[in-house]
Each structure stands twice: as C-alpha cells, then as structure tokens.
Amino acid sequence: MENAEKISGIITKSLGGLYTVKTSQGFCECRARGIFRKRGISPCTGDVVEIENGVISEIMPRKNYIIRPPLANLDLILFVVSTVSPSPDFVMLDKFIAIAEYQKITPAVVITKTDLSSGREIADIYRKSGIETFEIDYHNSESVNALRDFLKDKTSAFTGNSGAGKSTLINALEPNLNIATGEISEKLGRGRHTTRCVQLYELTGGGYIADTAGFSTFETNRYNIIKKEELSGCFREFPQYTDNCRFRDCSHTCEKGCGVIEAVRCGEISTSRHESYCIMYNEAKLLKDWEL
C-alpha cells in the first residue's frame, strides 16, 4: 500500500460521488477517500487531485472555488448576455462580475443574439470598464475564433441568464460536443436549462470550458460576502479615480468631491456600472457582523 503509485490529474466530471479524472495515462473513474468528509471538503470539477489505488487520496490546494455550481481553479468566468429574450439585467451582471473579481477570477462578457439587436451599447459599457468583451455573430466566424483564442489553455466557466445561449455558444466553439440546448419559453421569458451536471469539456486548441447553471443558481462560497469597504476594488475602473476623492473614507456613492462620481459625470465611468455599485454598497451596509 505504501508503495502504491500516485497519479495526478484534473477532475473533469463529478456525478453522484463518482469522479472522472483526466491523467497523463488517460481518463479514469474513481471515488474519493471518506476522510474528506471529516475535513469538510469534497472533490469537485476542476480540482487537481492525486489518485492512489484507484481512489482520490489528495486534493491539491485550490486557487479559487465557487459553491454553486461546484467548480474549482477557474481562470475565467464568461458572462453570456443576450441582447433580447432575455434582455440583460445589468445590476445582476455587475454583481456577479464583482464576485468574480473578488475571487480573483478574470471576468469577461460575451454578447449573443446580435443578429436580433445590436450589442454595441452593452459592449461599450464593459469595454470602457476594462473588461474583455466579445460580440458573437454566428455568420462571422472571426467573432467565434476571437473568443476561442481567448480561451486557449485556460479553465473557463460560462454562465448567464437561462436562454442567453450558453450551450449554443459552446457548440459553436467546439462543434463535436453537441451539448443539448433548450428553447426559449415565451410564457416565462427564460430558457429551460438543459445542463444536468457540471462538466469540463476539453477544447481542441487547449483548455477546458464548463457550461454552468443560470444566474439564479450561480453562487460563491457564502463566506465570500463583499464588505462595503472592499467593494470599490471589485469594480476595476474605480481605483484610478479614488485617489482624487476629497475624503479618505469616501463611499463613492453621493459625496461631494468624489473622484469616482466626477468620472461618471465626465463619462469616464459608465453610469449603469456606478448605479450597480451604489445598489451593492447600500446592500452591504445592511449586513450584520455575523453575516460576514
């Protein structure tokens, strides 16, 4: 037992306590040691693990982790936003971008359904904010190729409102996957989510992508609540203006002499982004110490 060979790999699929792990020797299915339950940790998709005697014996330290859907060690989170059906919810989008920034996961915005309505207004908001943004036109292969190049050799998750076209987008990036897609429900105004489990799909050019649940179920570890004092750092366009604030404890919401508010007034920071920040700041003010 002590001389058993240890094999390292990455979990590409987790379902019902059974894990698919890609190693240098190929794929294998295995279970995890019971000791992980005592440690209060479970292996999840994206984890780098060690396998010994056909069982996951060690989980390597994670650089980040989101709890729902359970994913570890992400380089990118791509927020898929459709121009229509459903229309974008900028406050929700900005909340999740801030959470990604807080988790040290690079966010990007991918705009779909540009054939039905222009995505330029959405793109301008996030490009101005310094966030990589892609406008997808399936009649223009270059728009898909640009996103594919961006994903190369990275582990990425796609999320967004149901019906925004995540699975369709992934199928365009890697056509041989044939991920099931759902039709838009006109009555509900949202799609019927078709992704049954979290799985990493390997890109031909290198890297992995995961199709995840919609925004309604996208959550981080409940302990990763952003305090109001840390929130401005999660809006990457803010810090360059905060040194211009008159007061050191400026909240950047309503104060006179605020560098951020002046940047909004001059059009250097998007109004919608600042409005989202103010909503999040006021919500954070209501948090009790025990919630943090």
What pLDDT is stored for residue 168 in this prediction? 87
Share of the chain above pLDDT 70, in %: 86
pLDDT digits (tens, 9 = 90+) for 249-272: 999 999 999 999 999 999 999 999
Q: If you average pLDDT over residues 70-75, what whole number do you get?
A: 94
User: Measured over all CA atoms, what is the biggest interatomic distance in the chain, rounded to whole angstroms?
Assistant: 69
Are both 73 and 208 inside the same structural domain? yes
Are both 73 and 212 inside the same structural domain? yes
Are both 48 and 190 inside the same structural domain? no
Are both 113 and 207 inside the same structural domain? yes
Looking at 4-8, 193-197, 214-218, 248-252, which range is the least confident one?
Answer: 193-197
Question: What is the pTM for the complete model shown?
Answer: 0.86
Query: What CATH number did the domain enclosing 238 receive?
Result: 1.10.40.50
Assigned domain for 112 exists: yes
Query: What CATH number did the domain enclosing 155 receive?
Result: 3.40.50.300
Are both 33 and 87 inside the same structural domain? no
In the chain, the number of structural domains is 3
The residue out of 37, 61, 85 marking a domain boundary is 61
The overall average pLDDT reported for the chain is 87
**pLDDT reading at 282 higher than 70:** yes
What pLDDT is stored for residue 288 in this prediction? 74
Residue that wins the pLDDT comparison between 292 and 101: 101
Assigned domain for 88 exists: yes
CA 100 – CA 181 distance, rounded (Å): 26
**pLDDT reading at 1 higher than 90:** no
DSSP per-residue string spanning the chain: -TTPPEEEEEEEEEETTEEEEEETTEEEEEEE-THHHHHT----BT-EEEEETTEEEEEPPPS-EEEBTEEES-SEEEEEEESSSSPP-HHHHHHHHHHHHHTT-EEEEEEE-TTTS--HHHHHHHHHTT-EEEE--TT-HHHHHHHHHHHTT-EEEEEESTTS-HHHHHHHHSGGG------EETTTTEE-----S-BEEE-TTS-EEEE---GGG-B--TT-PPPHHHHGGGSTTSHHHHTT-SSTT--SSS-TT-HHHHHHHTTSS-HHHHHHHHHHHHHHHT--GGG-
Residue that wins the pLDDT comparison between 213 and 43: 43
Are both 15 and 80 inside the same structural domain? no
Q: If you average pLDDT over residues 12-27, what whole number do you get?
A: 93
Are both 267 and 282 inside the same structural domain? yes
Assigned domain for 186 exists: yes
Residue that wins the pLDDT comparison between 236 and 68: 236
Assigned domain for 1 exists: no
The residue out of 197, 217, 237 marking a domain boundary is 217
Closest CA to 133 of 168, 96, 106: 106
Query: What CATH number did the domain enclosing 14 receive?
Result: 2.40.50.140
The residue out of 217, 245, 274 marking a domain boundary is 217
**pLDDT reading at 196 higher than 60:** no
Query: Strands 70-72, 65-67: parallel, antiparallel or unpaired by DSSP?
Result: antiparallel
Q: Residue 272 belongs to what domain range?
A: 228-291
Please give the C-alpha separations between residue 180 and each of 17, 122, 162, 184, in angstroms, as whole numbers: 23, 27, 13, 13
Assigned domain for 181 exists: yes
What pLDDT is stored for residue 22 in this prediction? 96
Are both 260 and 283 inside the same structural domain? yes
Assigned domain for 56 exists: yes
Q: If you average pLDDT over residues 70-94, what whole number do you get?
A: 93
Are both 232 and 281 inside the same structural domain? yes
Are both 85 and 186 inside the same structural domain? yes
**pLDDT reading at 212 higher than 50:** yes
Are both 42 and 125 inside the same structural domain? no
Assigned domain for 223 exists: no
Are both 155 and 280 inside the same structural domain? no
What pLDDT is stored for residue 34 in this prediction? 86
Assigned domain for 222 exists: no
pLDDT digits (tens, 9 = 90+) for 142-180: 999 999 999 999 999 988 887 888 888 988 998 887 766
